[in-house]
Chains A and B, each alone.
Chain A
Amino acid sequence: MTRKRFVILSLVPAIGLLATLAVVSIAGAVWFALMNRTLRSPDYDFVGAYNFLRLLRDHRFFNALEISAIWELVTVTGTLVVAVLLAVLIFETVKKPLWRNLISFAFLVPVLLPRVAAAFIWRFLYSPSLGAINYLLSLVGIGPVEFLADPSLALVSVAIVDIWQWGLFFTVILLKLMETLPRDPIEAAKLDNARTWEIHAYITLPMLKGPLISLALVKAVESLRSFDLIFVMTGGGPGTATETLDLYAYQMGINMGGRISYASAMSILLLIVTTVAFTIIWKAGKKWAN
């Protein structure tokens, strides 16, 4: 048996299983999307592209698309910025391995919390009348701030929880990566009297370009699945200020009239949009890394 044949034979069962699972669910969604199936009644008819055409006239769908895009941008950028800043800060200020490990352990706790638990904790912290954050703000004469009821603040307030969970986790990863970097280029820069920020901006972070791109992609995929966090904290509200596409699909397909076909059409469009977007981002990232 040649090596190539062995590789193919080893991969076929796993890929076959994954492909079957994906194909069955996607085919099911496409089938539903072409019908007018609702949860209330077992009868349904073929309606062709009606569900897709209706989506194009649905301003709530476009709002959800916009919110999803903003959510991706804010959470991915926020997570990476927080992770890079904190990793550099700890790398420069905490030199003892014991302290670094303790900090790393503490930073891992938020991501280990179930999302729903984190959402409830923060919902309580944000409460205008009973929450700790508003209590602290009131000490300096600010507030009460309606973090989750103010449409202009709600999305950012929920994004902060996401960044709190993932930004701290990524900090630990980046810190450990920085510790493994070769010391020579850094020592050389120091001899040339480079400032600390210059060392990181021009030497350490460019050396970590590959891992940073991977982390960004991992976070981008993870951010697409923030349904639980948003659902518990705001339910998509106030109004539709935090209603992402998956939340809207849920509201339409299950929570509201059970328009399962309409929700399926939305899922199919979401699948297409994300596949295209991620392919472009992946290719651009690869080019940049090289």
Chain B
Amino acid sequence: MRKTHLLFGTALCALATQGYAQDGMACKGTLPALNVIAQGMPAVTALDAHLSEFNDKWGTEVKITMLGENERRAKARLDASTGAGSYQVVYIDEANLAEYVSADWIYPLADVVPESYDLADFRTDLSNVATVDGVQYFAPFVGGGDVMMYRKDLLEAKGIAVPKTLDELVAAVKALNDPEGGVYGWSARGQRGSGMNVWRWTPFFRAEGGEWLDGDMPAFNSEAGVKATEVYMDMMQSSPPGVATFNWSDSVEAFRGGQVAILIESDVFGPWMEDQEKSSIVGKVGYAPPPDPLPSAGWSHGWAVSKSGAAEDCAKTIAGDFVGWATSKEMEQNRLAAGIASDIGRVSTLQSDGFKALVPQEYIDALLDTGPKTSLLIMASPVWPEIGDTLGLTLEELFAGTRDDVQAALDEAAFFAEESLMRVK
């Protein structure tokens, strides 16, 4: 009797699986183009070499629209909010996830991505950022926290130890600053944007004990906010010219070009420094966690399926499969094989020999040491992009010198935030 049950159950399972597969494959050729909006991270550009495989599987053509971070956010939001639905797959990050979930613009990941892609293998720190109220919404392929990168040769030449505290960092940056010799002590993001200057300023704000909200009211115009801004601006004095409008790319390229002695940036940029073709400082870089009490700003970028873009069942199936395929273990191994070690979304990849072969052990150690300091430091609110962008504008004005009263500037940004927070209630 039990045997019969077992057989019956197995048959049912097989039928169900077959039915699923047939349903899925029945969608082949039904979607002429799968539109994807993205940002030019290595994990995205590396997909190009493999797209034909996906196109052949589904009889479709994947079209990836590549934009800068701010533009990508603006365009994706416009597309989702107007219900235009031009994109089936959207690129989501830590700053706009709350907004997308509260507005019901994307599907929960498990509803669209087949189980065979092993969702449990995604790195926990990244999955946490991709999760709201226990439901994961995007498949992360890049993310992490911060790492301090320093030029071992320059520190050695001046007899300076690797900074362990923020005070030591400030002192080291000033001591290493030598514009005449073509080397600046520090570099940072100055350009406005919740994901730009505000992102790098936030650890300084948190290190001073700053909190975004006091009850329902904005509180970043506190003493901590003022102190953080002053320290940030003081360090900018030891940075390359034009830093007031630097984005992350300007900052990272200045370091990679050998012009900067110490940089705290997102840890994914570590492997960029070891790129034989593009980096002029290969082998000269040391890695360490950000000095205390600076926390590490956790972040994550990934793919999600848009509800308005993939309203039809087949579009949903193909878009879901794309998300799974583009973030699969195999795809990460393909990237490692191509020498890309910066974008890792899966635990299995971090543990693989391929990864260990590509990056210095010191970098892996710094990643492990930074892990406990990493968390989401920004305000987790649907109106964060708006509040963060206004704060970013204020900070840029202070950095560029168009205003000089830090307290008054932050008060103004907080006043604006008050109105935004009222509207979310």
- Interaction A to B: yes
**Could you list which residues of chain A lie within 8 angstroms of chain B, going by C-beta atoms?**
38-41, 127-130, 144-146, 148-151, 234-235, 237-241, 251, 254-258
Q: Could you tell me if B383 and A39 are in contact, using CB atoms closer than 8 angstroms?
A: no
Contacts of B403 in A (CB 8 A): 239
Residues of chain B contacted by A38 (CB below 8 angstroms)? 423
**Among residues 376 to 425 in chain B, which have CB atoms less than 8 Å away from a CB atom of chain A?**
382-383, 385-386, 389-390, 393, 396-397, 399-403, 420, 423
Q: Which range holds the interface residue count of chain B?
A: 35 or more
Q: A40 vs B240: C-alpha distance in the bound complex, in angstroms?
A: 38
Instruction: Let me know if B74 and A239 touch, CB within 8 A.
Output: no
CB pair A241–B241 under 8 Å, yes or no, is no
In the complex, which residues of chain A have a beta carbon less than 8 angstroms from the beta carbon of B401?
151
B70 at the interface (CB under 8 A from A): yes
A146→B77 CA distance, assembly (Å): 33
Interchain CB contact under 8 A, B82 and A39: yes
Any chain A CB within 8 A of the CB of B254? yes
Using A39-B81, A257-B386 as known contacts, list a sample of 13 further A-B pairs with CB atoms less than 8 Å apart, ordered by residue number in A.
A40-B99, A149-B243, A235-B191, A238-B245, A238-B397, A239-B397, A240-B393, A240-B397, A254-B78, A256-B385, A256-B390, A257-B389, A258-B81
A-B pairs, top 3 by smallest CB distance, nearest first, are: A257-B386, A238-B400, A239-B397
A149-B383 in contact given A129-B242, A234-B245 (Cβ < 8 Å): no
| Shortest Cβ distance from residue A115 to the other chain B in the assembled complex, whole angstroms | 15
A149 to B102, CA, bound (A): 37
Task: Tell me if B244 is interfacial: C-beta within 8 Å of chain A.
Answer: yes
Q: Mark B184-224, 1 if CB is under 8 A from A, else 0.
A: 00000011100000000000000000000000000000000
Interface set, chain B 321-359, CB cutoff 8 A to A: none
Q: Does B259 contact A (CB under 8 A)?
A: yes
A235 surroundings in chain B (CB, below 8 A): 70, 191-192
Residues on B with C-beta less than 8 A from A145 are 241
Q: Does B161 contact A (CB under 8 A)?
A: no
Chain B hits for A41, CB < 8 A = 103
Question: A254 contacts which chain B residues (CB < 8 A)?
Answer: 74, 77-78
User: How near does chain B come to A59, taking the closest CB pair, in angstroms?
Assistant: 9
* Least CB distance, B16 to chain A, in whole angstroms: 37
Closest Cβ neighbor of B80 among chain A residues = A39
Q: Would you give the shortest CB distance from B311 to chain A, in whole angstroms?
A: 16
Chain A residue nearest to B241 in the complex (CB): A128
The reply to whether A239 and B191 contact each other, CB–CB distance below 8 Å, is no
Q: Is the CB of B423 within 8 A of A238?
A: no
Tell me whether B81 and A149 are in contact (CB under 8 A): no
Between A and B, 14 residue pairs with Cβ closer than 8 Å are A38-B423, A39-B82, A40-B383, A127-B242, A129-B240, A129-B254, A148-B245, A149-B244, A238-B400, A240-B402, A254-B77, A257-B383, A257-B420, A258-B386
User: How near does chain B come to A31, taking the closest CB pair, in angstroms?
Assistant: 15
Chain B residue contacts of A128, Cβ below 8 A: 240-242
B396-A40 in contact (CB<8A):
no
Residues of B within 8 A of A258 (CB): 77-78, 81, 386
Residues of A within 8 A of B70 (CB): 235, 255
Q: How far, in whole Å, are A103 and B103 apart by their CA atoms in the complex?
A: 57
Q: Find the residue from B103, B254, B402, B403 having the highest chain A CB count within 10 A.
A: B402
* Residues in A whose Cβ lies below 8 Å from that of B397: 238-240
Closest B-chain residue to A243, C-beta based? B393
Cβ distance B359 to chain A, nearest Cβ, rounded Å: 27
Contact check, B393 vs A239: say whether CB atoms are below 8 A apart: yes
**Assembled-state Cα–Cα distance A150/B242 (Å):** 8
Given contacts A257-B383, A257-B385, are A238 and B420 in contact (CB under 8 A)?
no
Which has the most chain B C-beta neighbours within 10 Å: A144, A235, A237, A239?
A: A239
- Nearest neighbor of A238 in chain B, beta-carbon distance: B400
Known: A41-B103, A238-B396, A239-B400. A129 touches B259 (CB 8 A): yes
Closest residue of B by beta carbon distance from A59? B412
- A239 to B382, alpha carbons, bound, how many Å? 24
Most A-side CB within 10 Å, residue of B70, B103, B400: B400
Contact with A along B81-115 (1 / 0, CB 8 A): 11000000000000000010011000000000000
Q: Tell me which of A39, A130, A237 contacts B400 (CB under 8 A).
A: A237
Q: CB-nearest residue of chain A relative to B395?
A: A239
B389–A255 CB distance below 8 A: yes
Alpha-carbon gap, A41 to B420, bound state (A):
13
